[in-house]
Amino acid sequence: MSAQLASLPFELLVLGAGPAYTDRVGATGAAYLVRHGEDGLVLDLGQGSFPALAGAIEPSALLAVFVSHLHPDHFIDLVALRHYLRWEFQPPRRVRVIGPAGIGDRMDALHAEPGWTAAALDVEPLAVGERQVGPFSVEAARVTHTDDSYGFRVTLADANGPGLVYSGDCGRASDLQPLIRPGDWLLTECSFGAGPAEPGAEHLDGPAVGALAAATRPGRILLTHIQMGHEGAAAVAAVRALYDGQVDLVEPGWPPS
Ligand SMILES: [Zn+2]
Ligand SMILES: [Zn+2]
């Protein structure tokens, strides 16, 4: 265990930890709330995660929702967010959504209603690079998964301390390397647990995360998005075999209060 583990300069709350389907009761799609004082943004908003969001923060006050890629376990509760903003407030309130091109069309098509998304969500295309959102700086990098998938690094613009790197769904661990600075917290998918990852599935396993950690020296690793049939404890052990820092499995509601 690292003796000099530094805390994030902002709060991280796991609203949902994926994956796309599971028999774990209470599991919901990927959704991670980053908060500093009154300012909050969400990384992904997968299935079933809206209630946890609404229980943690006033959703209409979010600075933005960042979407890593267009798989429903990472964005489909934007439907609930849009309904909430559209029907709970008169006039409707609006939230920024920064995600892969075409996200608005996907949700419009789901409802067979052009303009459905734009009634309450301001959609902006996500691109590689860094942008400021309130007090946060969010850097996006492409990862191998769908043909338009991203990982993120979040920092507080005017504070020292580690950043938070979030993998999204990622099929090649080395894609995350440019985002990770030594000491960062790495919140990463580990879909295939202790491994081996299924060839062509474009997801990670414990040995891949461990090797990435050994090369990049994050201060802490948080494993998420464990697929049905894989054990979280075995995933943690597989990462620890290659990395001597702190490794934890996260679930909705993490960190425990
Ligand atoms: Zn996923
Ligand atoms: Zn995916």
Instruction: For residue range 108-127, list pLDDT tens digits in order.
Output: 999 999 999 999 999 999 99
End-to-end CA distance of the chain: 22
Q: Is 71 left (phi over 0), alpha (psi -120 to 50) or beta?
A: beta
Strands 136-143, 129-133: pairing kind: antiparallel
Residue 111 pLDDT: 97
Closest ligand to residue 148's CA = 2
Distance 69 CA to ligand 1 centre (A): 9
- Among the bound ligands, the one closest to the CA of 28: 1
Encode pLDDT of 194-235 as tens digits: 999 999 999 999 999 999 999 999 999 999 999 999 999 999
Phi, psi (deg, nearest 5) at residue 30: -60, 130
**Distance from the alpha carbon of residue 220 to the mean position of ligand 1, in angstroms:** 21
Q: How far is the CA of 149 from the centre of ligand 2 (A)?
A: 8
Among all bound ligands, the one having the nearest atom to the CA of 149 is: 2
pLDDT for position 257: 82
What average pLDDT score do residues 42-47 get? 98
Ligand at minimal distance from the CA of 29 is: 1
Instruction: Indicate the pairing of strand 95-99 with strand 121-125.
Output: parallel
Q: Residue 20: nearest ligand to its CA?
A: 1
The length of the chain in residues reads: 257
Distance 203 CA to ligand 2 centre (A): 8
The number of the ligand nearest the C-alpha atom of 190 reads 1
**Span from the CA of 216 to the centroid of ligand 1 (angstroms):** 24
Question: How far, in Å, is the centroid of ligand 2 from the Cα of 250?
Answer: 18
Query: 185: CA distance to ligand 2 center in Å?
Result: 21
160 Cα–ligand 2 center, Å: 32
pLDDT at 83: 98
- Return the structure tokens found at 21: 């389907």
Ligand 2 centre to CA of 145 (Å) is 7
Q: Are strands 246-249 and 220-224 parallel, antiparallel or unpaired?
A: parallel
Q: What percent of the chain has pLDDT over 70?
A: 98
Q: Is 244 exposed, middle or buried (0-12, 13-18, 19+ CB in 10 A)?
A: exposed
Q: What is the pLDDT of residues 64-103, one digit of tens each?
A: 999 999 999 999 999 999 999 999 999 999 999 999 999 9
Beta strands across the sheet bearing 185-189:
129-133, 136-143, 149-156, 164-166, 185-189, 220-224, 246-249
Residue 110 Cα to ligand 2 midpoint, Å, equals 18
Q: DSSP per residue over 28-53, as a string?
A: ---EEEEEETTEEEEEEE-TT-HHHH
The ligand minimizing its distance to the Cα of 143 is 2
Using the mean position of ligand 1's atoms as its centre, give its distance from the Cα of residue 48 in Å: 13
Instruction: State yes or no: cis peptide before 114, omega within 30 of 0.
Output: no
pLDDT of residue 1: 43
Q: Are 155 and 146 in contact (CB under 8 A)?
A: no
The pLDDT, as a whole number, for residue 4 is 60
Q: What angle do CA 136, 15, 2 make, to 5 degrees?
A: 70
Q: Of 115, 133, 105, which is closest to residue 35 (Cα–Cα)?
A: 133
Query: pLDDT tens for residues 159-199?
Result: 888 999 999 999 999 999 999 999 999 999 999 999 999 99
